[in-house]
Amino acid sequence: MLQWLQHYRRSMLPGDISAGIVVAMMMIPQGMAYALVAGLPPVAGIYASIIPPLLYALFGTSSTQSVGPMAIISLMTASSLAPLAAPGSALYGVLAAQLALLSGGVLLACGLLRIGFLANFFSRPVMSGFMLGSAILIAWGQVVPLLGAMPPAVHWPSAMLGLGALAVLVWARLYMAGALRRTGLSPAAADIGAKLAPMLVVVGATALVPALELEALGVATTGNVPAGLPGLNLATSSAHWQALLQPALLIGFMVFLISMSGAQTLALKRGEKLGSNRELAGLGAANIGSALSGGFPVTGSISRSAVNFAAGANSQLASIITAALLALALVAPTGWLALLPLPVLAATIIVAVLGMLDLSTLSTAWRYDRADAAALLATGAGVLVLGVEAGVVVGVALSMGALIWRASRPHIAVLGRIPGTEHFRNVDRYSTETAPGLLMLRVDAGLFFGNVEAVNERIEDELAARPSTRHLVLVLSAVNAIDTSALFGLGELNTSLRQRGVLLHLAEVKGPVMDRLRHSTLLQALNGRLFLSAAMAWDELAPGAAP
Amino acid sequence: MLQWLQHYRRSMLPGDISAGIVVAMMMIPQGMAYALVAGLPPVAGIYASIIPPLLYALFGTSSTQSVGPMAIISLMTASSLAPLAAPGSALYGVLAAQLALLSGGVLLACGLLRIGFLANFFSRPVMSGFMLGSAILIAWGQVVPLLGAMPPAVHWPSAMLGLGALAVLVWARLYMAGALRRTGLSPAAADIGAKLAPMLVVVGATALVPALELEALGVATTGNVPAGLPGLNLATSSAHWQALLQPALLIGFMVFLISMSGAQTLALKRGEKLGSNRELAGLGAANIGSALSGGFPVTGSISRSAVNFAAGANSQLASIITAALLALALVAPTGWLALLPLPVLAATIIVAVLGMLDLSTLSTAWRYDRADAAALLATGAGVLVLGVEAGVVVGVALSMGALIWRASRPHIAVLGRIPGTEHFRNVDRYSTETAPGLLMLRVDAGLFFGNVEAVNERIEDELAARPSTRHLVLVLSAVNAIDTSALFGLGELNTSLRQRGVLLHLAEVKGPVMDRLRHSTLLQALNGRLFLSAAMAWDELAPGAAP
């Protein structure tokens, strides 16, 4: 806990301060916008940006992770709560906090159970497809607030403000860094400056509201924002808790995956090491903190963390400074926040999520591995057609299917002797000699439930191709483990071979595997023998072999 | 299709006839009993035993599989339908057929999509735990019909009949084969004879009903059985179809797993090869057939198939004969079936499912691998506490967790040169020499999303332990594939190492892997070089190495 503080050096302070300020300027419009995506009042996004990063700084391991509201998690929140309460109702806000509490509990429990290895659950193309589908879904959901009415109807004052903001933001995304560079700013500073465009647009648009009397024209604004953090308010209906449990599992899962995928990229750039179990604990604490301070589920934001990193963050102190600035914004007179026009927030959301569209993974996968590209597109389509929660399930199913498919085809080589040596190699790749009646197979994978059938099938095929086989030697030099399913599989193979007059031998069994096999009856039941090496098996079993 | 018929020899006929008769005698009480478990009238079990095995014989690949009602699938059927209709109602029967239709459709679709490799989804201990929990749940559900009342109340006439039948059946299971052997029967014939005990008990008890006027005493019987197959009757409410979709997925999955686990054991005994995709098609057709003939979800029964095998079945003709005999039983006067006492059927169910209790897997796993034993017990507890459907989900989660855990810890060796040779081996296992500034790592697994983080972490650890490293050589001799996720991982590693002044080289890249890498930008971006062999990398990169 707080290891980074023990190693803090004064030279790290300037970077942390500048990053803290830049990220705060990014966080204010983003937090409010993502609260809207979650179906909550914009101020909830500010709440969710104060306590969570402080708790993450205490328990997490990434030096540059920026924890707070994030578009996809907000979308999942809205989709989970939609069947239970009307957006804007008091119950909705209470349930959003409960969902954060449950998600945080799930994450914390996973951290304590040390199952952080589940971060390997999603393949990169599946994750990219999930983000692609979610981004399109989020952008689509902002069309109504952007235009102030359901298309084809348009509320012109809202639409002009919204589309104007959109045009400015798109320009800023594409050209502002270049324009700043031409004024003499360094490329890095220009890039960071361009990230402040949403804040400038939001402030400018908010100033326009009273100036042009836009509220009287029917432009929606965020409305009154209460000062200070709200009190704790959790419902006690057990039916609600139960209904939120499954969404909380899915949200906890995605909070972890999204946060890790961003943090790992940044950690690699610094040669920094993340602890996945401590990350789970940090994200769990952050979500519980969000629940207790009127927020909703939060995660590490890839885009915001990248800005934090680029703006010079050296430690979690940058995030603490960001949180402090947001807290200040909340205790300062918040009247101006009430005038923030919703069409402009919708424009910031659309530009932010379209910036998430990662088409490079799709194009790389398309050229490199069509199956991975298909998984990407299927996951994206799953999110668009079936919804964001079903999209997670589709993604897990595709990743797991790929994992099982891979596990179920272990590499198995028929071995032959390199003449005159004690070396045994794949007969398909080396010039080797084999002995009649003797079949030697090397399995290049641990034996376990996922490949036990495949190994048996391959053995049957090889035996069918060599009906005169009398001795089958399994060379286990590459087998680091044999699980209970494979133990049964070997036992059944042994019985089956005995009935067919073929002896089953094992060779080059590794020490740890042998220790475990001694706790089973396989070695006593074995038809054939145990050999220390393939060469010793050859010397004994090859007809006419020189001893 | 019907390959077995093309190779049929007259010598196979006697075995098929005797097995067909024996299995029919076993199927009549079992089918009716498992219909009761499914919450259906007993006659539905006879319906489900006629068309399904005929269709399986047409499409399936196992020569001895006996397809029809099965206890666990019936339990899953009852648990799926319970929220939708009252057992015994007309709607319930219609929904049971719809569930079979949907399950069959799922299986058929999986067969056409060729995803039979999913049979590797469950580890053996997880399957055993699932069956253990289900068997206890089924036996427990039969206590009320056995005693004729909800305990502690007891309906004495029913209880005496039920407990009497139970005592006879337990005796038969334990001692009847021995008793028959002492009369001079061969051990095989005695074992088969003992399997007919349930039929004898059921027939005997049915004769007692009119003789002792048990119905007047309040003993429940199966009631009138309509002759012939029922007409097709499927509901059209889309809400019902939707509600049945998820249960149908789970049931289809378990139908396949249960059927395959039995069929594979028997196939291994004959050196016969099953086609998992054709098995999916066969089971799918069988379930669709069951739906169209008034039945409910069916699968290959492990215990019945074993009897079929032992009684001499040589081909699917045995199952066709069984089906023909059951059809005869249905067109013959069925009045006697109406008198079948339910407590006796409950006794046959209890004895049958307790016979499924496979404690040997638990004891083997306990001695051999505590983690597998824990998975078994957790799955069993999941079924008992959360229900049979949640039990499937728990089982999948545990198996997948094990798979990911395994995949996320690939074996990685630091290589050194065996002095004076061109051989490179694990420095921990062989006496080798290494060169300063040169780190050679061999990854003994394909690179993919499941291990890309683990590989990166191990590389960082090894680099941290050798801060003077200038060249990192990844020896890919055991890497048969690199997926898109791992491609990105290597690219990021390359960038990160370049920033730290370490060159990344690849050696012994296999042909198919190299072909694929040429469709990416990794090779152009690579800091270091490609070497054909580890020895060539050593010669170039080891300081002062002899060229």
**B459 and B350 share a domain?**
no
Are A484 and B364 within 8 A, CB to CB? yes
Helices (H) and strands (E) in chain A, counts: 25, 8
Query: Could you give the angle at which helices B484-499 and A238-270 cross, rounded to 10 degrees?
Result: 50
Q: What is the pLDDT, as a whole number, of residue B546?
A: 46
Is A163 found in the same domain as A100?
yes
- Nearest C-alpha of chain B: how many angstroms from A174? 25
Q: Does B477 touch chain A (CB under 8 A)?
A: no
Option in B271, B444, B449 nearest A478 (CB): B444
Minimal C-alpha gap between B283 and chain A (Å): 19
Residue A4, domain member (yes or no): no
For B528, phi then psi, to 5°, come to -100, -145
pTM (global) more than 0.90: no
Q: Please report where in the chains the tokens 């997490």 appear, as a residue.
A: A60
Whether B261 has its CB under 8 Å from any CB of chain A: the answer is: no
Per-residue model confidence as pLDDT tens for chain A (547 residues) = 567 788 888 888 888 998 899 889 888 888 989 999 999 988 899 999 999 999 999 998 888 899 999 999 999 999 999 999 888 788 898 899 999 999 999 999 999 988 887 777 778 899 899 989 989 988 998 899 899 888 888 999 999 999 999 999 999 988 998 999 999 888 888 888 888 888 889 889 988 988 888 888 888 887 766 656 666 666 667 788 888 998 999 999 999 989 988 888 788 777 677 888 899 999 999 999 999 988 999 999 888 888 888 888 889 999 999 999 999 888 776 677 778 898 998 998 898 888 878 788 899 999 998 889 999 999 999 999 998 888 888 888 888 888 888 778 888 999 999 898 888 888 988 899 999 999 999 998 889 888 888 898 899 899 999 999 999 999 998 888 899 999 999 998 999 899 889 999 999 998 888 989 999 999 999 999 999 889 999 999 987 654 4
B272, B309, B449, B521, best to mutate vs chain A, most A CBs in 10 Å = B449
CA–CA separation, A164 and A166 (whole Å) = 5
Element (H, E) at B471: strand B471-475
ipTM above 0.85, yes or no: no
Whether A484 sits inside 8 A of B269 (CB atoms) is: no
Domain boundary residue, one of B354, B376, B404: B404
- Whether residue A235 lies inside any domain: the answer is no
Among all residues of chain B, which has the CA nearest to that of A452? B120
Q: Per the domain annotation, does A387 fall within a domain?
A: yes
Asked if B262 reaches chain A (Cβ–Cβ under 8 Å), the answer is no
The pLDDT value recorded for residue A487 is 93
Tell me which chain B residues have a C-beta less than 8 angstroms from the C-beta of A373: 484
Chain B partners within 8 Å of A522 (Cβ) = none
CB of A313 closer than 8 Å to CB of A306 = no
8 A C-beta contact, residue B30 and residue B268: no
pLDDT the model gives residue A224:
66
Q: Which residue of B has its CA nearest to A268?
A: B496
Handedness of CA A435, A438, A439, A445 (dihedral sign): negative
Omega of the bond prior to B69 within 30 degrees of 0, cis?
no
> Looking at the structure, do residues B130 and B167 belong to the same domain, yes or no?
yes
Same domain flag for A206 and A330 = yes
Cβ separation B519–A367 shorter than 8 A: yes
- The verdict on A471 and A530 lying in the same domain is yes
Closest CA to B259 of B126, B132, B72: B72
Q: Does B5 touch chain A (CB under 8 A)?
A: no
Q: Say what the pLDDT of residue A216 is.
A: 85
Q: Are residues B330 and B354 in the same domain?
A: yes
HSE of A232 in the Cβ direction (CA atoms, 13 Å)? 10
- Is residue A236 in a domain? no
Contact call for B496 and A268, based on CB within 8 A: yes
Nearest Cα neighbor of A289 from A41, A68, A536, A29 is: A68
Whether residue B364 is found in the same domain as residue B460: no
Residue in A closest to B495 by C-alpha: A269
| Residue of A484, A515, A520, A522 best to disrupt the B interface, most CBs of B under 10 A | A484
Residues of chain B contacting A423 with CB distance shorter than 8 Å? none
* One domain for residues A180 and A288: yes
Please tell me which residue of chain B has the smallest CA distance to A128: B485
Three-class DSSP category at B114 = coil
Domain boundary residue, one of B385, B404, B423: B404
A-chain CB neighbours of B513 within 8 Å are none
Contacts of A183 (CB under 8 A, 6+ apart): none
Q: Which of B403, B445, B492 sits opposite A268 (nearest CB)?
A: B492
Find out whether A171 and A109 touch, Cβ atoms under 8 Å: no
Is-contact B260 B276, C-beta < 8 A? Answer: yes
Q: Would you tell me which residues 117-146 of chain A have a C-beta closer than 8 angstroms to some C-beta of chain B?
A: 117-125
CATH of the domain at B510: 3.30.750.24
Beta strand B412-417 pairing with B424-426: antiparallel
Q: Which amino acid is at A47?
A: Y
Beta strand ranges found along A322-437 (DSSP E): 412-417, 424-426
Kindly report, residue by residue over A229-286, the tens digit of the pLDDT. Answer: 666 666 667 788 888 998 999 999 999 989 988 888 788 777 677 888 899 999 999 9
CB contact under 8 A, B120 and A454: yes
pLDDT 10s digit of each residue in chain B, 547 long? Answer: 567 788 888 888 888 998 899 889 888 888 989 999 999 988 899 999 999 999 999 998 888 899 999 999 999 999 999 999 888 888 898 899 999 999 999 999 999 988 887 777 778 899 899 989 999 988 998 899 899 888 888 999 999 999 999 999 999 989 998 999 999 888 888 888 888 888 889 889 988 988 888 888 888 887 766 656 666 666 667 788 888 998 999 999 999 989 988 888 788 777 677 888 899 999 999 999 999 988 999 999 888 888 888 888 889 999 999 999 999 888 776 677 778 898 998 998 898 888 878 788 899 999 998 889 999 999 999 999 998 888 888 888 888 888 888 788 888 999 999 898 888 888 988 899 999 999 999 998 889 888 888 898 899 899 999 999 999 999 998 888 899 999 999 998 999 899 889 999 999 998 888 989 999 999 999 999 999 889 999 999 987 654 4
pLDDT for residue A547: 42
**Owner of token pair 């699968």:** B299
Domain-embedded: residue B231: no
C-alpha distance from residue B181 to each of B119, B171, B198 (Å):
39, 15, 19
Tell me if chain A has a CB within 8 Å of the CB of B405. Answer: yes
- Closest alpha carbon within chain B to A272: B460
Across the interface, whether the CB atoms of A519 and B368 are under 8 A apart is answered yes
Q: Which range marks the domain in which residue A511 is found?
A: 412-541
Determine, for residues B450 and A403 on separate chains, whether the beta-carbon distance falls below 8 Å. yes
| Residues A436 and A351 occupy one common structural domain | no
Same domain, A535 and A394: no
| C-beta atoms of A273 and B460 within 8 A | yes
> Of B354, B386, B404, which residue sits at a domain end?
B404
Is A156 a domain residue? yes
pLDDT tens per residue across span A87-136: 878 889 889 999 999 999 999 999 998 888 777 777 889 989 998 998 99
Q: How high is the pLDDT of residue B218?
A: 84
Chain A interface, best mutation among B120, B130, B270, by max A CB count within 10 A? B120
Asked if B375 and B524 sit in the same domain, the reply is no
Q: Of A469, A467, A462, A522, whose CA–CA distance to A492 is shortest?
A: A522
The whole-angstrom separation of Cα A44 and Cα A527 is: 70
The verdict on B531 and B422 lying in the same domain is: yes
Q: Quick one: pLDDT at residue A235? A: 63
CB distance from B520 to chain A under 8 Å? yes
Does any CB of chain B come closer than 8 Å to the CB of residue A429?
no
Q: Is B81 part of a structural domain of the chain?
A: yes
Does residue B29 contact residue B280 with C-beta atoms inside 8 Å? no
- Residue linked to tokens 């996809």: A72
What is residue A337's predicted lDDT score, i.e. its pLDDT? 73
Give the orientation angle of helix A51-59 with respect to helix A317-331, to 10 degrees. 160
Residue A164 within any structural domain of the chain? yes
Closest chain A residue to B272, measured at CA: A460
For B438, the enclosing helix (H) or strand (E) is: strand B438-443
The C-alpha of B184 sits at a distance from chain A's nearest C-alpha, in angstroms, of 26
A421 contacts in chain B (CB < 8 Å) = none
Task: Name the domain count of chain A.
Answer: 2
